[in-house]
Amino acid sequence: MDVLCLQSGSSGNCVFVDTGTECLLFDAGISYRKVQTRLNEAGRDASEIDAIIISHDHRDHIGCLGVLNRKLNVPIHISRRTLASTERRVKLGPVQCVQHFSPGETISLGETQIETIPTPHDGVDGSAFTIDNGRSRFGLWTDLGCVFDDLLASVKTLDALLIESNYDETMLAESPYPDFLRDRISGPGGHISNREAADVISHASEHLQWACLAHLSDENNDPAVAMQTHRKCLGNKLHLVCAHRQLATEPLRIQPSKNIRLTQPMFF
């Protein structure tokens, strides 16, 4: 499985995943031109994309959904409530081939299974995703709200993980943000901090190949600070990368798993 984070942060979110049989675009917060350019730079092409999957209704995840759907001519997988909220938030325009899921369900696309994990983030019907191609498992976990039990259980089954590491606790406390905004960010419906993300990763098995730190705040975090916090908790053994707010990350490959597979889904 190959992963290319095309952009991550409050300016727009979009992740390309090639499972080996399907090519999927998770979230639609950047333009078609940026998607195409960044894929081309990595030796890929937007024409490979088979479907778009949407996590929730915040603009940085759905702002370019209508255009991407029409340009790519591929299905959208989105919850009914998220779609209704999206239509109120942005000028979506006509969309086609919309497939609905409810958070907690598993989406089957060819040989790929996408487990949708309901999150307490303050969007409508928010979901995190675990992608399983039968050979490896990848967690795509951003806009989580807070750390909840399903994350700590599921991370043990993963071979790689992209996880939000949104803010540094000291930087947020000392920021000029008003109290209500600081409370929203650090509260149960907001985001998780560098320290909290590192704690989630620390529960992973020894088979976790890499972790990508995503959705870093421009005002209340810094890649060097995030890395320092994670290294302090995790040591130097695990391969760590920081997703960029305006550019694509390096392509990341997930090798076939040596992890023990569970015989039953963990969440449902």
Tell me the CA distances in angstroms from 8 to 20, 61, 96, 131, 249, one per residue in order: 23, 9, 26, 18, 9
Phi, psi at 70, each rounded to 5°: -75, -40
pLDDT single digits (tens) 87-145: 999 999 999 999 999 999 999 999 999 999 999 999 999 999 999 999 999 999 999 99
pLDDT tens-digit readout, 205-237: 999 999 999 999 999 999 999 999 999 999 999
Per-residue pLDDT reduced to its tens digit, 166-189: 999 999 999 999 999 999 999 999
Q: Mean of the per-residue pLDDT values for the chain? A: 95
Does residue 191 lie within any of the structural domains? yes
Handedness of CA 20, 39, 93, 143 (dihedral sign): positive
Instruction: Give residue 131's pLDDT.
Output: 98
Tell whether 268 is covered by a domain.
Answer: no
Instruction: Give pLDDT, residue 30.
Output: 98
Q: Is residue 183 part of a domain?
A: yes
CA distance 31 to 165: 24
Beta bridge partners of 61: none
Residue 262 domain-assigned? no
Q: pLDDT tens-digit profile of 13-34? A: 999 999 999 999 999 999 999 9
- Identify whether the C-beta of residue 56 lies closer than 8 Å to the C-beta of residue 80: no
Tokens of 154: 């599921």
* pLDDT for 261: 52
Domains in the chain, number: 1
Cβ(28)–Cβ(14) under 8 Å? Answer: yes
Looking at residue 259, its pLDDT comes to 64
Identify whether 257 is part of a domain. no
Return the CATH number at 120.
3.60.15.10
In terms of Cβ atoms closer than 10 Å to its own Cβ (0-12, 13-18, 19+), residue 263 is exposed
The answer to the question of residue 233 being in a domain is yes
256 in a structural domain = no
Q: Determine the structural domain holding residue 180 and report its residue range.
A: 2-245
Whether the predicted model's global pTM rises above the 0.85 cut? yes
Residue 258 has pLDDT above 80, yes or no: no
pLDDT of residue 222: 97
Q: Is residue 267 part of a domain?
A: no
